[in-house]
Structure 1
Amino acid sequence: MSFKHPFVVAVLLAACAGRAHAGASLYVDDAAVTPPGQCQVESWARAYFPSRELTLVPACSAAGNEFSLGFSQFSAPGPTRLWSPGLKHVFRDAGVRQWGVGFSLGASWDARRGRWVAGALSLPASIAFDDDERFVLHANLGWGKAEGKVGTVTGGVGAEFVLDEAWRLLAEVYGDPHGTAAGQLGLRRSFGEDVSVDLLVGHEAGLGTGPWLTLGFNLAFAR
């Protein structure tokens, strides 16, 4: 079975690219990794017609790299469970400096059919426009291939706006040369430094299925 629903393909390629850290339930990743000695778990539930998605992505850093293993379950077009290992490395970490750049690699394994169904490479870059990092811009350029689809260049731009100590405004747009064009807009509520919750609304142009809603939960902790 190939993946024919455009939104599922977009989700699949984003999962393969090792999406983690500030990316969380967003598609556009940042150029930062989990600090040494720490791990994180990012999770989200996404509802859209005709399906629902549940994803859990634990990640830890070791030897200067971030390793993740995502699990996603889709309810339609048929019950699908994917395991998505990922690797992320930054040449300059935007989490500790004002700008950063890196790369991530990933793939997805369909547990029901017992085979690899997608792979992706992404080059994330991030820049903060002030010393307090109240406005941060992220850009991604990559390549991905899902089963039954031709390989394609992918890209996106995302932004974080700090509203106060607890709230951030999140926005992003992403797409590919084959007509996929989508975006998300929402809020992130932080509870201290290690816990946050995301609420996002998204839409893909020309899909004809209406918007989707995402609720994300992110937790960081020491190993």
Structure 2
Amino acid sequence: MRHLSALLVLFAATPAAHAARPMITDDARLTDAGACQVESWVHLHGSQHEFWALPACNPGGNFELTFGGALAYADGHQESGALAIQGKTLLKPLETNGYGIGFAAGYATQPGSAHTGNPYFYVPVSFSLADDRVVIHTNLGYTREREHHENRLTWGVGSEVQLTARSYLIGESYGQDKGNPFFQMGVRYWIVPGHVQIDTTYGSQFGAISDQHWFSVGLRLISPSLF
């Protein structure tokens, strides 16, 4: 899928590890200290279906390692999958009604591509407003597209707004210094606060909404402290 290079560069998700599923724009937060999490989702784009799983652990308190990937299918036939590995740390933890800064770097391949993957890094900066009921995330980074032998700047801007004690509304836009940006909107809901979360999104690319739109449904599991 053409939009996945941006997704893999900016993932978040990575995210509360990376802005938490379903956001692609990452945040200045990590998985809980001493804990692990698994973010998994189904990504539907026309006849293309992808099944993602990104386990992550934060054993020492300020370094999160993510390693996972995807299985991809097109017209019912399996394509080559994807792999992603990323390390992330915080330069300044996000505080209520304050801001936080992080740094992340990794390497990722794309579903359906036989080419080598792309190394990347980015800096997530998050801003807390209204006692954490509104949080704004910004990303600025770089990737080396080995297939095209090009260097690209990457960016993302997103927000998460608390609707109830357990539900959040998210919206974001992200892209590179070339080509039309992408957008995504959705909701997430805590089934078990702090441990089990579900989400769903709709997204597309500006200028090609009817051709590039997708849906996703995700599940996020966070363990108690293991280390």
* TM-score, length of structure 2 as denominator length: 0.85
Residue pairs, 1:28-39, within 5 angstroms = 28-39=25-36
- Alpha-carbon offset, residue 99 of structure 1: 1.8
CA distance in 2, matches of 1:89, 1:80: 30
- Alpha-carbon offset, residue 31 of structure 1: 0.3
Superposed CA offset, 1:169-191 (max 9, x none) = 00001111211311101111112
| Equivalent position of 1:48 in the other structure | 45
- Alpha-carbon offset, residue 75 of structure 1: 2.2
CA distance in 1, matches of 2:39, 2:95: 17
Aligned length: 217
Asked if structure 1 preserves the Cα contact closer than 8 Å seen for 2:109 and 2:118, the reply is: yes
Matching of residue 8 in structure 1 with residue 7 in structure 2? no
* TM-score, length of structure 1 as denominator length: 0.87
| Equivalent position of 1:201 in the other structure | 202
1:151 is paired with a residue whose SS is strand
Higher alpha-carbon deviation: 115-124 or 150-159: 115-124
Asked if structure 2 preserves the Cα contact closer than 8 Å seen for 1:33 and 1:95, the reply is: no
Asked if structure 2 preserves the Cα contact closer than 8 Å seen for 1:18 and 1:68, the reply is: no
1:11 is paired with a residue whose SS is helix
RMSD of the TM alignment (CA)? 2.5
- Alpha-carbon offset, residue 127 of structure 1: 0.9
| Equivalent position of 2:185 in the other structure | 185
Asked if structure 1 preserves the Cα contact closer than 8 Å seen for 2:181 and 2:205, the reply is: yes
Q: Which amino acid aligns with 2:63?
A: N
Asked if structure 2 preserves the Cα contact closer than 8 Å seen for 1:107 and 1:116, the reply is: no
Q: Which amino acid aligns with 1:163?
A: L
| Equivalent position of 2:66 in the other structure | 68
Given the alignment, which residue of 207, 212, 215 partners 2:214?
Answer: 212
- Alpha-carbon offset, residue 110 of structure 1: 7.4
CA distance in 1, matches of 2:71, 2:97: 35
Matching of residue 221 in structure 1 with residue 208 in structure 2? no
Over the matched positions of the two proteins, sequence identity in percent amounts to 26
Consecutive unaligned residues in structure 2, runs of 5 or more: none
- Alpha-carbon offset, residue 13 of structure 1: 2.4
CA distance in 1, matches of 2:123, 2:157: 12
Q: 1:110 to 1:28 in 2, by over 3 A?
A: closer
Superposed CA offset, 1:50-92 (max 9, x none) = 4222110111113320011021122249712122111000111
CA distance in 2, matches of 1:181, 1:194: 32
Residue pairs, 1:1-223, within 5 angstroms = 5-15=1-11, 19-20=14-15, 21=17, 22-63=19-60, 64-76=62-74, 79-94=79-94, 98-108=98-108, 116-131=116-131, 133-149=132-148, 150-191=150-191, 192-207=193-208, 209-222=211-224, 223=226
CA distance in 2, matches of 1:114, 1:72: 14
